[in-house]
Amino acid sequence: MLITNFFMDTPPLSQVLCARGAGCLSRSAMGGSRSSTRRLLRFQTTVHNIGTAAFLPH
């Protein structure tokens, strides 16, 4: 079973510094001030293990 939730968010760049550090922002956002905002699609996905085998993430 797959469950996904998503929503739009408009945080200031100061709240998405991890995305900036990982290079996940556009070139125009990289030079923006920390108070400028970006529109983000945030999502969460949950996958349930419905089998009998142990979960092995790696």
Instruction: Please report the pLDDT score of residue 8 as a whole number.
Output: 92
Model pLDDT for residues 6-56, shown as the tens digit of each residue? 899 998 888 887 777 777 777 777 777 777 888 888 888 887 778 888 777
- In this structure, what is the dihedral angle of CA atoms 15, 29, 24, 46, given to the nearest 10 degrees? 50
Burial zone of 37 (CB within 10 Å; 0-12 exposed, 13-18 middle, 19+ buried): middle
Does the predicted TM-score (pTM) go above 0.85?
no
Within 10 angstroms of residue 44's Cβ, the number of other Cβ atoms is 9
Nearest 5°: phi and psi at 21? -65, -30
3, 19, 32 from 43: Cα distances, Å: 11, 14, 24
